[in-house]
Structure 1
Amino acid sequence: MSTVPHPVAGALPPWPDDPPPSAAAALRAGLDDEVADLETRVAELTAGAAPELREAFRALVELHERRDHAADAHMRDRLQVLARVHTALAHLRQMPSAEAMIAAAPRSVCEACGFDRAVLYRVRGKELLAEAFHVEGDPDSAARLLAFSREHPAGLVTQALETEMIRRRRPMAIQQVVGNPRVFAELAAAYDTRSYVAAPIMPEGRVIGFIHADHRLKPRQVDEFDRDALWAFAEGFGYAVERARLTDRLRAQGQELRRLLQRTEAVVAEYLDAEVELVSGSSEGASRTTAALVPEVDDTIAGGLSKRELEVLALVGGGASNAQIAARLVITEETAKSHVKRILRKLGASNRVEAATIWLRAQPPR
């Protein structure tokens, strides 16, 4: 590869023959070198010491290595959970409506984050109303707990932890539930909850709901890892629901607009097809005015067609296309096409040529 920078790249510093590593990699390498030097020094200092001291030192070094491995494994677990959260949110975004996303959210968060149970609440005024519940492997319990939760909505009183989360816009991990005066005691007793995490759903900075989750079936306490994982899910879920709600509203408005346009076109077509009379003094004068607007034709055809249809038929008889008819009568091409279809049906004609033939035959002799 050429060492001369491409002119498109702009002014860049020269690339060294031995490029330095990242700051984190350099720090880790430096620490490894210091540990190796310290091991050498300690080995020299304890060369004549008791075997127990040397063994204790080796055990200390191994303990530090195991702790580093545990920290690396913990970090990998966190990254895997975040990857599963990303996948779960992507799946939820593909659902057809916001209601479907809400119903599936508790199950998705359990699968992504490893929880046993999860419940999604909607903020309704000063209450939390349960919308969906999931219990791993036990849908009957989920349905029973959801029904109980809806019958006993939680009040967002001042001392409630959820009220504090709304104020601080942050999730919490509640390690001790029993005897805690700041939890929803009635729901906690019904769920038999001992430790749980909660995260607010707040797509636009305003809290619209909560997700609660726990490890009751394992059983074990929740930790900060669980709190952060649930927070990541709740944040992404809030934006997904907001987008779905907007899409639902746009879809509904589009359907309503199409209905209005169809209704308007039908009204206009009905108006244009209506029998119009211009009355000015006497019926004879009115008859002459009306006759001037509609082409003269045999009564066998005129009796079955409206005046607008007679005008369209006259243009068809003259070889006009739908576009030409629309331009001549100042209507849409779709309306012209509808007129032609009705004319063919009323005349029993199979095509425009046959309709034009019927029109020409119906002309009075001149």
Structure 2
Amino acid sequence: MARISDLNERVNELARQAAGGGANRPYMQLLGLTIERTSRRLAAVQAGSPDITDLCELLTDVSAVQSTLRKHALAQPSYAPGRIFEALGRVRRKTTPDEVFDIAPAELCAAGGFDRAMISSVRGSMWAPRLLFLSDGQDSGFNRELSDYISDLQIPLASPMLEAEIVRRRLPALVQDAQYEPRTFRPLMAASRTQEYVVAPIVVGGAVIGLLHADAYLSQRPLATADRDSLRTFAEGVGLIYERAVLESRLAEQRERLAETFRAAERILDGPAQAPVHLPGPAIRAAVAIPDVEPAVLLAAEVTEPSVREGLSQLTGREREVLALLASGATNAQVADQLTVAESTVKSHVKHILHKMGAPNRASAIARYVRAENNERRV
């Protein structure tokens, strides 16, 4: 009887927790009625000498409680699009790319029901954990050690690592039995003690710039494909928000530079107006007269170059993509990040571009490319 009484207490506690989690009303009403009936039957059995009939009826009531709890658990989806979109709305309020990255793990845990979430940067062929959010805080020694461990971690994205495949295919994954999965990064699995996790790429402008990992380390609840799908939706939203924040930051910088240019122009124009004007005499004006120059002379002064159009036509699609990024002001490292390739690969592309275009340096190649683009627009 003591074991049955203890079971009844646990059922009541589960019911209180379920009610606090926003359960569906019909299942909660059914659960309340079933628990009340079970309590009455238990009281009746404890009042006198129990017989087989009473115990069977009590067992039936306990089974009904278990069935109701099971229905309640199934009624609560682990993938809640509404919560994911609400979390993305809060992320959207951040104004800089760094702020977007910093808040994403906490919002992911709150929306997806995860206990831990980690956001990482992907640069070329390296994966670097950036921030770990722990729902139970950073106070425990284990959490501090784990945060310290990932702070300086640099992980090569080499085959057959699972994350390397995720970056290549740009698809999420559910990793079960992570401690024995040979494609995981074994040192991180040992340090985090995770058994299961979900991971999804953060894609910006067609390139993977980061990864989101999440698990249920504290609750130990089994992860499902719904968790993977919710993480995928969240990661896609973070990628769009991050890209928008980057564009807004660049636009703000360009506006400031343009405003400074206008201010400088105003200072130049205001200078002569405030200075006294001294006109030269007629003899001096005749001495400094500028002779007319024939247009043909100006054209002859230009350096003869190979056909820009012909040079561009020899470039591959990837080489044209690299040249366009260089023309936008990107460095070799930034081009490598955008295209998710090694910096040495970008240097090789640049070398081939210069050779095919007959350009002595990248500045000349960029100038020819821009001139050709402008000509095409005018046509």
State TM-score, norm by structure 1: 0.55
- Aligned-residue identity in percent: 32
How many matched pairs? 222
User: Which runs of 5 or more residues in structure 1 are unaligned?
Assistant: 1-58, 286-366
Distance 1:123 1:86 in 2: 25
C-alpha root-mean-square deviation of aligned residues, in Å? 2.9
Distance 1:212 1:196 in 2: 7
Look up the equivalent residue of 2:197 and give its one-letter code: Y
The answer (yes or no) to whether the contact 2:201–2:211 under 8 Å persists in 1 is: yes
The answer (yes or no) to whether the contact 2:78–2:227 under 8 Å persists in 1 is: no
SS at the partner of 1:217?
A: coil
Partner residue, 1:289: none
Q: Which has the higher contact order (CA 8 A, sep 6+)?
A: 2
Partner residue, 2:261: 260
Cα deviations by residue, 1:164-189 (Å, 9 ceiling, x for unpaired): 11233211111112232211112222
User: Which runs of 5 or more residues in structure 2 are unaligned?
Assistant: 1-59, 286-379
Distance 1:205 1:264 in 2: 39
Partner residue, 1:205: 206
Partner residue, 1:244: 245
Q: Does 1:191 align with 2:176?
A: no
Question: What's the offset of the Cα at 1:276?
Answer: 2.2
Distance 1:263 1:124 in 2: 38
Partner residue, 2:104: 105
Look up the equivalent residue of 1:148 and give its one-letter code: Y
Partner residue, 1:230: 231
SS at the partner of 2:199?
A: strand
| 1:118-197 pair list within 5 angstroms | 118-140=117-139, 144-197=145-198
Look up the equivalent residue of 1:109 and give its one-letter code: L
Partner residue, 2:77: 77
The answer (yes or no) to whether the contact 2:112–2:230 under 8 Å persists in 1 is: yes
Distance 1:71 1:238 in 2: 36
State TM-score, norm by structure 2: 0.53
Task: Identify if the C-alpha distance between structure 1 residues 195 and 164 changes in structure 2 by more than 3 Å, giving closer, same or farther.
Answer: same
The answer (yes or no) to whether the contact 2:78–2:113 under 8 Å persists in 1 is: no
SS at the partner of 2:117?
A: strand
Look up the equivalent residue of 1:230 and give its one-letter code: L
The answer (yes or no) to whether the contact 2:122–2:209 under 8 Å persists in 1 is: yes
| 1:267-286 pair list within 5 angstroms | 267-280=268-281
Question: What's the offset of the Cα at 1:75?
Answer: 6.0
The answer (yes or no) to whether the contact 1:117–1:213 under 8 Å persists in 2 is: yes
The answer (yes or no) to whether the contact 2:84–2:111 under 8 Å persists in 1 is: yes
SS at the partner of 1:202?
A: strand
Distance 2:193 2:95 in 1: 34
| 1:3-14 pair list within 5 angstroms | none
Distance 2:116 2:254 in 1: 37
Q: Does 1:221 align with 2:226?
A: no
Distance 1:168 1:97 in 2: 28
Partner residue, 1:95: 94
Task: Identify if the C-alpha distance between structure 1 residues 197 and 270 changes in structure 2 by more than 3 Å, giving closer, same or farther.
Answer: same
Look up the equivalent residue of 2:156 and give its one-letter code: G
Distance 1:236 1:125 in 2: 22
Distance 2:119 2:177 in 1: 21
Distance 2:273 2:130 in 1: 52
The answer (yes or no) to whether the contact 2:119–2:212 under 8 Å persists in 1 is: yes
The answer (yes or no) to whether the contact 2:119–2:211 under 8 Å persists in 1 is: yes
Question: What's the offset of the Cα at 1:153?
Answer: 1.2
